Amino acid sequence: MEKVYIFDTTLRDGEQAPGFSMTADEKLQMAHQLAKLGVDVIEAGFAAASKGDFESVHLIAQQVEGPIICSLARALEKDIELAGEALKPARRKRIHTFIATSEIHMKYKLRMSPEEVLERAKKAVEFARRFTDDVEFSCEDATRSQREFLYRVIETAIKAGATVINIPDTVGYAVPEEFARLIEDIRNNVPNIDRAIISVHCHDDLGMAVANSLMAVKHGARQVECTINGIGERAGNAALEEIVMALKVRKDFFGGLYTDINTREIYKTSRLLCRITGSFVQPNKAIVGDNAFAHESGIHQHGVLAHPLTYEIMNPEDVGFPSTRIILGKHSGRHALKRRLNELGFKLSDEDLERIFEKFKALADKKKEVYDEDLEALIYEEFMKVEEEEPIKVKHYQVQTGDNLLPTATVVLSFRGEERTATSTGNGPVDAVIKAIQKALKVEPRLIDFSIKALTPNTDAQAEARLVIELDNVKASGRGVDTDIIKASVSGFVDALNRAIMRRNYILSKESIREEGTV
């Protein structure tokens, strides 16, 4: 078995994509998580690009242990020197220097002859070796380079001291069979290639970055340069999570090749990047998208509930995904509905389930997805006579907050017609008002999940607050929407409380037990 090294360039190439820039502290936070993920190399930035990039590389070199810390540098002494200086604190360091080798780049961008490029490459690698024994050399736009010249450049770079040779598909031009043949040709035509690791760096302009990378690995590459969520220039880079899981799931095809990635950290790393950049992956994104382990079709749901491997080639837990999601919609069947109702605490007879299933199908035809709140409404409407209306109603609340001011909230609410008032402080305005509500009701539900997202753009956007709580071993979710984040949070929390109380009373009523006048 052979190892494939994972070179993560999220903080360099990934950050170069419009809208994905990060502060030094955000890069450091991301770098620590990448180390926890188990990547072999972190390309921390392009030290010569700006003062901020230099500081980011230096900070990561100082504080992040485990992976090799790398900085990109053009084949210029000033770039290489700055990279060497930024990387100085790192225990393990690499300088990654590059120059274009395609005719179109040499003629129009570099305005250099092939011989000048060859000499520049040699001198760059030799100079980089003054700062570290670990030097990577990249032939920019390798897939559009003339083969014989490409072989000469690679041979020269290795003679000068390069330990890793990177073959980038810089503009995402290659197709898998062609790229695999390129790797094979390099192995067969560069006499000293056995003295260096072959790396690949593929872009996704034609949607084949992952396929190209995997075919390169199949044909002898042993390092893959990739990014979390596939972010990067233009259409992005090969996605780390897809490369790693393809090698893991299809190790039969890849001959037992492996990585040292802790795959259970993949989902967490993806979500951290989303939070830092404010840019989320599409729902159908492989491995980390919201729908990656979601099923709506009744046939698929039945199969997955019977045995997950019927429709899932990997366990969600293997990538740190919370769990398989059964999406209830118009394609769902009785098995999925029954399971979700059971999870919500509703145990129905076959006859009652059939009644609810008919109403569920009618509702599902009118909307894309049926949520827990919808199911509860169907249950209450059909069977439950315990509560005529929601027991808790917020009449008024007031929050005082500001710089150097302890957030304080006062609420006036009614519980089954009885008015109650309470005041509390908190870590923030939302925390303060929720604690005041709990104080007024004399309850302390366990908060399981709390999220806020904007439903519309701009500063006057509507905010949606979603909460999941547990009260007396009964779970319930709530939702609130408003342009005011505090109001949305209050509405969501009270909604969840009401649902928990009504659900609990429904359970008690089925047992002919009900405690009047208590929450």
- Given a cut of 60, whether residue 449 has pLDDT beyond it is yes
pLDDT digits (tens, 9 = 90+) for 32-46: 999 999 999 999 999
- When pLDDT is cut at 50, 70 and 90, the band that residue 289 belongs to is confident
What does the pLDDT look like over 71-82, one tens digit per residue? 999 999 999 999
Question: Who contacts 469 (Cβ-Cβ below 8 Å, separation ≥6)?
Answer: 445, 446, 447, 448, 475, 476, 477, 478, 493, 496, 497, 500
3-state secondary structure 389-447: CCCEEEEEEEEEEECCEEEEEEEEEEECCEEEEEEEECCCHHHHHHHHHHHHHCCCCEE
Number of neighbours of residue 507 by Cβ within 10 angstroms: 17
Measure the CA–CA gap between 426 and 303, rounded to whole angstroms: 47
Sheet (strand 418-425) strand order: 392-402, 405-415, 418-425
Percentage helix, strand, coil, to 5, in the chain? 45, 20, 35
CA pair distance 435, 57, nearest whole angstrom: 43
How confident is the model at residue 140, as a pLDDT?
96
Looking at per-residue confidence, does 186 or 515 come out higher? Answer: 186
**In the 8-state DSSP scheme, what is residue 307?**
-
**Per-domain boundaries in the chain:** 5-277, 294-383, 392-510
> What mean pLDDT do residues 299-309 have?
51
Average pLDDT over every residue of 104-120: 95
**Percent of the chain residues past pLDDT 90, beyond the cut:** 60
Q: Mean pLDDT over residues 124-143, rounded?
A: 98
DSSP at 53:
H
* Residue entry with tokens 């909604």: 495
Kindly state the average pLDDT of the residues 85-92.
Answer: 97
Q: How many helices (H) and strands (E) does the chain have?
A: 16, 16
Amino acid identity for residue 299 in this structure:
I
pTM comes to: 0.68
Give residue 459's pLDDT. 60
Q: In the predicted model, is pLDDT for residue 295 greater than 50? A: no
CA distances (Å), origin 299, targets 140, 232, 357, 392, 497: 48, 38, 16, 40, 35
What gap in Å lies between CA 441 and CA 498, rounded to an integer?
12
> Higher model confidence: residue 390 or residue 89?
89
**pLDDT exceeds 60 at position 519:** no
**pLDDT given for residue 375 in this prediction:** 74
Q: What is the pLDDT of residue 156?
A: 98
Give me the helices (H) in 250-387, please: 266-277, 298-306, 334-343, 350-364, 372-383
List residues forming the annotated binding site for Mn(2+).
13, 201, 203, 237
Q: Bridge partners of 414? A: 393, 419
How far apart are the C-alpha atoms of 114 and 93, rounded to whole Å? Answer: 30
Domain 5-277 is in which class?
Answer: alpha beta
**Size (the chain), residues:** 519
Alpha-carbon span 456 to 462, nearest angstrom: 6
295 three-class SS: strand
Mind listing the pLDDT tens digit for each residue in 218-239? 999 999 999 999 999 999 999 9
Higher per-residue pLDDT: 19 or 514: 19
Instruction: Tell me the β-bridge partners of 94.
Output: 70
| pLDDT higher than 50, residue 386 | no
pLDDT on residue 337:
77
**CA-CA-CA-CA dihedral for 145, 146, 152, 158, to nearest 10:** 20
Task: Identify which of 410, 384, 496 has the alpha carbon closest to the alpha carbon of residue 451.
Answer: 496
With a cut of 60, say whether residue 512 has pLDDT above it.
Answer: no
pLDDT on residue 202 = 98
| Domain 392-510 architecture | 2-Layer Sandwich (3.30)
The residue whose two tokens read 């199908």 is 361
Write out the binding residues.
Answer: 13, 201, 203, 237
